[in-house]
Amino acid sequence: MARSVGIDFGTTYCAAALGGADAVEEMLPVPGDTSGRGVFPSVIAFPPESSPVFGWDALTWQERDASRCVVSIKRAISKGRGHSSFDTHSAAGLSQEAVDGEMPFLAVGGALKSPGEITALLLKEIHRRAETFCETRISQAVIGSSPAWDAETRNCILKAAEEAGFSEIRLVEESKLVLAAYLQRDRAWRRLAICDFGSGHFGFSVFERANPETDIMTLRPVVDSADAEIAGDEINGMIARYLIEQIRAETATDISKDAELMSQLLREVEKAKCAVSHRGSYDMSIRDKEKGFHYSRAVSRFEVAEYAGTILGGVADSCQKALRQATFRVDDIDTVILVGGVSRMPLVRTLVENVFHKDVFCDWNPDIAVALGAARVAGRVFAKDADA
């Protein structure tokens, strides 16, 4: 049976699922997945004397030597990168070098690497794992695309996917992939909105259909926006800046100049932000034994909410602006789906419900919707190509 792969190429997490014309979609298992969420961090480490390592293993490496790791590569190749106030790469100690007319290269482990080269390595690993798991050759892939991608970015991803071993590749809007995954639930809707709150952007899309029999494969989003200023990474940036000031006030040390401590701080901020979605506080700790530096404190849910609030405050505006541009009113939307990791923050669900004055659908695993939808779409489009 011919198999194809659906890929969610996310800023912080990637996920992949397997599809095929007659196959039921299934998630590609992730080695070393400590989260149980079926995703792996979009991180590649370049150890000095071995081949690159990926995902959860790379995250372990990052704790040892962040200068050998590339994080958030999607941010580096996305058009919206210039608008982001928080530069994950610089903050983690990775310098960037602009090359004439090209996307900035990243200096990692003493070598300059292009964003396309790094993306190809990541996709190649997904391709390798998929072939090993299915014990068959796989050449077809559907990859989720962001509305922020311009032609240069799209070409870069297509080229990277070819280098990774795929010969038939489709880039399909992430929102359409979420819709494809959702339709398993077979709900009636006429105008459906999808909010995808990830680490790189807040995506807002609307689909419209004339009647329930309309084939969703023929639909394109009538609204498809991505706001890079409303993003999980931006929330981390707000919290990190606040903690840098707190640490400066309490210890007279400016850790923003120290790549190693900054890298630790960013990891702790990420853990704190996620932890307080489920409990009242998180005990953070950063340490550099050689420099004799140690700082620890509890980060409360209240503090995270306060600093995340500056970013979250933009959610309503972002939805309303996109609706206005399409001359829709809030009441025109009958169904709202919320996906993306940041939707785990209880406040986010409330915010979106307040915008649309209705319950939002978000009681599934928000991390894997794009990948599952991509595998479903892959099964359909490639089967159609074979029939043609």
Ligand X SMILES: Nc1ncnc2c1ncn2[C@@H]1O[C@H](COP(=O)(O)OP(=O)(O)OP(=O)(O)O)[C@@H](O)[C@H]1O
CA distances from 212 to 190, 250, 291, 380 (A): 8, 60, 64, 18
Considering only residues 57, 125, 270, 303, which one is a binding residue for ligand X as defined by CB under 6 A?
270
CB 43 within 8 A of CB 58: yes
List the interface residues with ligand X, window 190-229 (CB under 6 A): 198-201
Considering only residues 5, 58, 342, 381, which one is a binding residue for ligand X as defined by CB under 6 A?
342
Q: Which is nearer to ligand X, 120 or 370 (CB)?
A: 370
Q: State in angstroms the smallest separation of the CB of 183 from ligand X.
A: 20
Q: Which is nearer to Mg ion, 2 or 141 (CB)?
A: 141
Q: State in angstroms the smallest separation of the CB of 219 from ligand X.
A: 21
Residue 356's binding partner, choosing from ligand X, Mg ion, none, with beta-carbon cut-off 5 to 8 A by kind?
none
Q: How far is Cα 174 from Cα 163, in angstroms, rounded to an integer?
A: 22
Sheet holding 69-70, edge to edge: 53-54, 44-45, 69-70
In degrees, rounded to 5, the angle at the alpha carbon of residue 126 between the alpha carbons of residues 133 and 9 is: 135
Q: State in angstroms the smallest separation of the CB of 361 from Mg ion.
A: 17
List the interface residues with ligand X, window 21-80 (CB under 6 A): 74
Q: State in angstroms the smallest separation of the CB of 255 from ligand X.
A: 21
Residue 65 φ/ψ, nearest 5 degrees? -150, 95
CB 115 within 8 A of CB 77: yes
List the interface residues with Mg ion, window 2-21 (CB under 5 A): 10
* Short-list 382, 292, 276, 378, CA closest to 8: 378
**Of 101-109, 183-191, 254-262, 268-276: span binding ligand X (CB under 6 A):** 268-276
List the interface residues with Mg ion, window 185-214 (CB under 5 A): 198
Q: Which is nearer to Mg ion, 78 or 264 (CB)?
A: 78
In degrees, rounded to 5, the angle at the alpha carbon of residue 272 between the alpha carbons of residues 266 and 277 is: 140
Does the CA dihedral 196-197-200-201 come out positive or negative?
A: positive
List the interface residues with Mg ion, window 149-178 (CB under 5 A): none
Q: Quick count: other Cβ atoms within 10 Å of Cβ 347?
A: 16
| Residue ranges that bind Mg ion, judged by CB under 5 A | 10, 198
| Residue ranges that bind ligand X, judged by CB under 6 A | 10-13, 74, 198-201, 232, 270, 273-274, 277, 340-342, 344-345, 367
